[in-house]
Structures are given as structure tokens and as C-alpha cells.
Structure 1
Amino acid sequence: MTLVVLPNISVLISIWMETLFYGMYVVLFFSSFFVLSRTRNAIVQSWVIRLATVLMFCIATTHMAVNVRRLVEGFILPATKAETLAYLYDIHQPLNIVKQYLWVFNNVLADGIIVWRLYTLWNIQVCVLPILLLLCTTAFGLATATSLLPQIGAGNSIFVSHFSRFATTQYAISLTNNVLVTSLISGRIWYVTREVRASGYATGSDYRRAMLVVIESGAIYALTQVIQLAWYVAKFPGLYFVADSFVQIMAIVPTSVVLLVALGRTLVEESQAAASGALSEMKFTSGATKSSRTLGSMKDGYGLDRVMSGPKFKSGERPTHSQVLLPPGPAEELA
């Protein structure tokens, strides 16, 4: 039996759910903006990151305002229930097209921030494929808003065949990109922190570390896209209830990442701080120069395994005091 959802019910529930997520996003945005205005963290001092964060909030707020306008035009202005249903069934209404454009622009900013986080943990070569996938998603989204949505006749749904094929491709590319970026970020976090955990300088509880990995990698956003694509392919009408909420979640996740980086509470930064604390307890015979070099390499993002990988001795060679990282003393103590 096919589940049938009336458009007046789906619109009301969808906007109500979006309002809940928007309320959470407002608190998160102003908190992050306050932190960004005061932080000295060099990673998030770029005006590009701050501008992207502000633009995402403006787009999410505009999307909320468009839905409120739809409530007025759909439930207050029509004189009869039949006119209300006719308006809500007409998905190529100008406000629906505006919402599609807002989704595209917000997706560019949100995925761009996640790719930026990938770049700060890896390098630009790793980001090439995610950037290309992001451009493809943007092209499909703009084509949908510009040519496909206006061609859908009144009474048709978003599951109509020619629109469905195009939208499925768009969602699939976006999901692939987010799963790829999430996996790369999570893998980098695991790589950088594994030596620190093994040395006994783990930061926080296992639950807290798991939560930080989920937030920092953008896994929540990837999960919502899995649900979105699965429900769309299955033509499940429940998608109408949560479709508008995706726009707010799309903004919440990257803003959370920026806030964590600004506060210095990411798992990578905390692990490097713990490793730096461990290394600061050691004494080097070469003085402050070697110590500052070692700690500096940790601040630059290198794993503890690179710092502790050497020195290596030849067979029968007698190591010096500086090579074994011990304080200076009589030669007999090293024998």
C-alpha cells in the first residue's frame, strides 16, 4: 500500500522541523561568530572562512523566510481548501525555485568549509577530487533550478521520471563527495592521534573522542545525505517532512567544525598539545634550539611518529648524549 501524504500536512511538518533546527543553528552561529571575532587561531583567521560562515547563516535565514512566505501564500491568502492544495501541489512555483537556488549556494559554502578542513589536515592534492565533485554537484543543482523545475507541470511531484533521474544523480554525487571527505578526515585524525593514544597521553574519554571525530569529520551531514538519497530513490513521501531541515543541517555541521577549530578543541589539536606536553618534559643536550624545533614540528601538524622515529645507529656505533635524548653525564653512565 502506497503512503499518500497531503501537501498541506507535509508543508506544515517540514517547516515546523526546519524551525527547530534553525533555532539550534541561530545559537550555534552567534556563539561561533563571537569566538571567531576574538580567536587568535591562525587557521580560522582567514576572512574567507568568516565570510562563508556569515553567508551560510544569511542563506539559511532566507530559506526560513521563504518557507514562512509559503505558509502565508498557501494557507492564508487562498479562499478555499482546494486553492490551498492547488498552490502546494504546484512545485514549480517561484518560491520553490528560489529554495532550490538557496540549497545550491548553501551546499557550495557548506561543502567548501568541509573541504577546507580536509586541506588543513592533508594538502591541496588530496582536495582536487572533492573540489571537482563539488563543482559537479553545483552544476547539477543550478541546472535543476534553471531548467527542470520550471518545466514540471502542476500536479506533478518531485518523483516525476525526467526530474527524478537528474536529481538522483545530483544527490549521488553530493553523497559520494561527503563520504569521501568524511573518510579522509577521519583517517587523518586516526593517523595523527594513534601514537599519542599509544603513549598514554590520550585526550578525554572514548565517548568524547568519538563525538569529536563525528563532528570534525562532518559525519552527521553525510548521514543525512544517505537518508535523503535512500528516501528519494525509494520515493518515500517522508522525504517531504525533512527536506527543508537538510538546509539547516547543511549549515550546522560546517559551522560546528569552524567553532571547534577556533576553540582549539579538535581531536588533532588536543592530541598534538598532549604530545607537546610529553615532549616538553624531556631534556635535550643541544639546548633550546632542538626543543623548539621538535615542538614546532608538532605544532605544524606532524604526527608524533615522525618526531620519535629517529635516531638510527649503525652496528657497533656508540651513541652520543644528544642522540639518546638523555641529560649530559659521565660517559660511563651510557655504557
Structure 2
Amino acid sequence: MLTGWENRPDSDLVLGDGQDIAASRLSVKLYLVQSALECLVYGCYMVTFGVSMYVMKFKRQNNSGIRWDVCALVLIFLITTAVTVTDLISNASLLYETFGLGGLHLGLSTTESHQFEISMQMIAEMGFILANFLSDCVLMRRCYIVWNSRFKVILFPMVLSVIVNSVIILMVVLFADDPSHGTTQKKFNVANRIMQVFFGINVIPNLLLTLLIAGRVWWIMRELEKISHDVSSEGVGQIKKRYWTTLVLILESGLLYPAALITFLVILHAGSVAPSLYPVVSTIAGLAPTLIIVRVQLGVSVDSLNDIRNAI
């Protein structure tokens, strides 16, 4: 995939001398590691998605925004599935070429096979961008609700997310503009660097939204201390426990995606050749909001200080 290997083997490589064989063996290892990791993470995500659908149908305790939650989860799941499938197909095509067997179809020429791989990459790239943006939208919506519908609170992360995703869309379009092999290879190297910058910047809105939500929950805890004198200690203790649990779960779920982005960047800079974790990051982009929405529907999350007063 696009953000995989800086020193990607040439698609015209055919097994020959010792150097070519060593390069081919390394390529096969990278493809297999990447595909296995993709399948593992996607399998975890698929199970989580199935549980989320069950929870929202039979176990939900919070009916507010249920249609939005279902639509968001299903859309992110479909997009993530498309990203994973297209990347696995692209990996299979590259394996065929590594061994000099042509593309997935015997009748494909080298140019046609290369264009096919670019098409698969385009689909996966656009899918990741959409999944990433929807993930941001889920966090922005939760932040908006927790902050009592204060639009100005989410204004900066929203603008930053729109700008970052718009820039990466333009990059993908430019990358696929010229199908010629030589030109595309040069654009591939440039696109790698741009994508690394994108991953780095994209940590900011995700991390900021998570901290805003967690900060609001902490503030509500402080307000609870002020009104705790008027209610029973048992009731206050239950509410405090609920909010501390909420705070921990928000941090766990919300920090999952930024942590994956940072890990990906570290791996990219750790060596000149590394397996592409791009589709894995796409899957985690869907997994994190799924966990958040499930916890909301289970009633783990509390939206405002008014909920405390109603509860006690």
C-alpha cells in the first residue's frame, strides 16, 4: 500500500541472481506479515462490530442519537472492509509479480497489472480517508454533547480535521493522475512522505477531542463534589464510581487511534524497509469509535451535569 515501503521492489522483478532472490524473499515476508496482521486486527474489529449491533438492538439504555450511531458504525465498517479487501487483493497481485507470474490474471500485461494495483490503492486510500473523517465525526459529536452543545468547543478540531482530510484527498488524486510506471514511482515516494506528515498531524484533532471529552467529565466530577452535601453518601459514591469508570473508558477508547498512528510513524522511521500498517490503522480508525458508541448505548457514558442531578 501507499505508505508501506520506501524501497519497494520493482514490479518487473523476476527471480534471478542471489541479490534478486534475497529481495524477493524479503518482499514475500513483508507481504505475509502485513496480510496476517490485517486479518488479525480486522477479525477483532468484526467481532466488536457484531457485538455493537447486538447491544444497540437488545441491550441499549440510551436511545438518543441511535440512528446516527447505527449509520456511522455500519458505514465505517463497510469502508474498513473495503480497505482491507482491496489491500489483500493488491498484496496477492504483488506476490504474483514478485515471482514473475504476472498479475492476478494471466492475460494481464505488466502495464495493466500496474494500473490495477494503482486502482486498488486508490480505493483503499479513499476508504481510509472516509473512515478517518467519520471517526473524527464520532468524537466531535460526543464532545459536542458532553459540552452541552457548545459548537465553539469543537470548532478548532473540526476545521483542522476538514483541512487535513481535504489535503490528503488532493494528494491521492495527484498520485493517480499519471498511470505511467516511472512517474508513478516518483509520486509514490513523494506520497509516502506526505502521508507520514498526514498521520502526524492527524493525531492532533483525535487527541484534542479525547482530552476535551475527558476534561469535561473531570469537571463534572468537580461539580459533583460541590453538590454532594445535599445527597446521601451512597448515591454520591455510585455516581462518582460511574464517572471515574466513564473517564477511564473514554481515555482507553479515544487514545486507541492516536496511539496506533504514533506507532505506525515510529515503525516507518525505524528502518528503510517495513511492512505497511496502513490498512491496520484504517481498521483501528473504525474500532475506536465503535467502542465509544457501544459504551454510550450501554449507558456507561453520561452526557451532562443535569444527568447527575436527575440520577440523584
Q: Could you state the TM-score of these two structures normalised by the residue count of structure 2?
A: 0.72
Query: Matches of 1:238 and 1:192 in 2, distance apart?
Result: 47
Q: Output aligned runs, 1:95-106, within 5 Å.
A: 95-106=120-131
Alpha-carbon shift at residue 150 of structure 1 (Å)? 4.9
User: In the alignment, which of 44, 57, 70 is matched to residue 65 of structure 2?
Assistant: 44
Residue 250 of structure 1: which of 270, 285, 304 is its match?
285
Partner of 1:214: 251
Q: Secondary structure at the match of 1:264?
A: coil
Report if aligned partners of 1:182, 1:222 keep a CA contact under 8 Å in 2: no
Q: Tell me the distance in 2 between the aligned counterparts of 1:238 and 1:29.
A: 33
The one-letter code sitting in structure 2 at the alignment partner of 1:185 is I
Alpha-carbon distance in structure 1 between the residues aligned to 2:261 and 2:98? 38
Query: Is 1:203 aligned with 2:241?
Result: yes
Residue 107 of structure 2 is aligned to residue 80 of structure 1: no
Per-residue deviation, 1:259: 0.2
Letter in 2 for 1:80: F
Q: In the alignment, is residue 119 of structure 1 matched against residue 144 of structure 2? A: yes
Q: CA deviation at 1:261?
A: 0.2
| Contact 2:214–2:247 (8 Å) recurs in 1 | no
Q: Whose helix proportion is higher, 1 or 2?
A: 2
Query: Which protein has greater RCO, CA pairs closer than 8 Å, 6+ apart?
Result: 2
Give 1:258 shift: 0.4
Quick check: which has more Rg, 1 or 2? 1
Q: How far is the alpha carbon of 1:37 from its aligned partner?
A: 2.6
Q: 2:46 aligns with which of 26, 36, 50?
A: 26
Query: CA distance change for structure 1 residues 186 and 79 in 2, over 3 Å: closer, same or farther?
Result: closer
Per-residue deviation, 1:63: 1.6
Identify the match of residue 133 of structure 2 among 95, 105, 108: 108
User: In the alignment, which residue of structure 1 is the partner of 2:106?
Assistant: none
Counterparts in 2 of 1:204 and 1:41: CA distance versus 1, 3 Å: closer
Identity of aligned residues (%): 19
Q: Which amino acid aligns with 1:113?
A: V
- Equivalent of residue 171 in structure 1, options 199, 202, 207: 199
> Any unmatched runs of 5+ in structure 1?
276-293, 300-335
What SS class does the counterpart of residue 125 from structure 1 fall into? helix
Which residue of structure 1 lines up, in the alignment, with residue 218 of structure 2? 190
In structure 1, C-alpha distance between the alignment counterparts of 2:213 and 2:77, rounded to whole Å: 24
Map 1:58-97 to 2 at 5 A. 58-76=78-96, 78=97, 80-81=99-100, 93-97=118-122
The one-letter amino acid paired with 1:104 is: I
Q: Distance in 1 between matches of 2:84 and 2:191?
A: 25
Please tell me the residue identity of whatever aligns with 1:214.
L
2:209: which partner in 1?
181
Q: Residue 317 of structure 1 aligns with which residue?
A: none
11-20 or 257-266, larger mean C-alpha shift = 11-20
* Residues in 1 aligned to 2:85 and 2:69: alpha-carbon distance in whole angstroms: 24
Post-superposition Cα deviations, 1:104-138, rounded to whole Å, max 9, x if no partner, equal 11111111111111111112211111111111122
TM-score, normalized by length of structure 1?
0.67
2:217–2:247 contact (8 Å) kept in structure 1 = no
Q: 1:282-321 counterparts in 2 under 5 A?
A: 294-295=309-310
Distance 1:98-1:19 versus aligned 2 partners, 3 A rule: same
What's the CA shift for 1:164?
4.4
